[in-house]
Structure 1
Amino acid sequence: MVITQSELMTKAQALMKQKDDLEAEIKTLQDNLKAQKVGMSERLVDSSGFPRSDIDLVVVTTARSGIIKLQNDLKSVMLQIEEALHAVHAEAIAEKQRKEQEKKLQAQSSPESASTSASASTTTGASGSEALEVLKPFAKVNMVAPDSPAREAGLLQHDRIVSFGTVTERTPDTFAALSKHVMERENKPILVKLLRGDSTNLVSVILVPSQGWGGRGLLGCHIVPA
């Protein structure tokens, strides 16, 4: 059974929602500790070895154990998100290759030519997949507005964008194409691959352009040439 790119994206979005819920639960428990004026490591007994009377031990111990459990769950979900995003990316490349192959096969009239075309398409597709790994960032994030779609997706200032959906450094009129792609994908997920800090490992995020978040534009971030 072939899983479509749309189905893979839906799975990734569900995992992102799960991540957000876990982070919200962790923050609530951390706030409970903050209200007790303790963190995760302070002693719960006084100098005489008796339980501290200035804190609610039940609240503190419950919060601490809950945070540890939720943080472990969060690590697991983050790994699943990474795997899901890689699957979305791989399926996007495969779908593009299939479409290119179909076009070339349709353009040929003889079985022999069609075979040659299919072989050429496969070679081209493989090269394209390999080339994606060595693409250079074509843009960087100069600013991210609070409560914006960009902030919700996890974009950070100084992130360097390698691919924004179908747009890469090799796309003609890159920023015009980027603007058009964003408008065409309003309220639809876009897979963004980027480099963060000094790391050479690609980071993948899902950005959904939308209005009504309280600011201008569909993204809520300022993107400039890299």
Structure 2
Amino acid sequence: MVGTDLKAETMKLMEKRTAVEAEMDAIIERLARPGGPGLSGNLVDSEGFPRTDIDIPVVRAERRRLSGDAVTASESSRNVIQRDAPSDMDVDVIVSRPFAVVDEIADGSPAAEDGLQLGDQIVKFGNVESGDNLLQRLSSEAQASQGHALTLVAMRQGELINLTVTPRTWQGRGLLGCHFRIL
């Protein structure tokens, strides 16, 4: 009986998560349009005035929605699993929790060429999986791997994917040409 309830509740949460991810994808697409503000771009012009080409309250609301929904959907699923999971290591459950999201990728950059996409949630970047000083550790990992393939695990549209990226110099900034926002 408990198994049936758990399955039904899990299925309901999975449907909700799918709907939330579809909405998140739509928001990312709107924010990442050419000339748009992006997931973390400036909302003011070069002189410090609010940009007139975007609706700033809407952009802020969509950015908040992105950060809140991602955490809420993941936490709800995790809570059901943890609450009803058998104890004493009866089941080996591995929960991959993203620690960063790709919120900018430059065209023609190593990250773009190697398959990284806007909105990918980073679960593992080389040897970096979680902890403190993540931006510094991500940067150090990229520098240490310059010119060498680096394994990256990301969550893309609810699925874990494995990518290989090679940090390298190119015409733009950094070794990857992308920006990570810590979650």
1 or 2 for the larger relative contact order (CA 8 Å, sep ≥6)?
2
Structure holding more strand per residue:
2
Which structure: larger Rg? 1
TM-score, scaled relative to structure 1: 0.39
Which structure carries more helix by proportion?
1
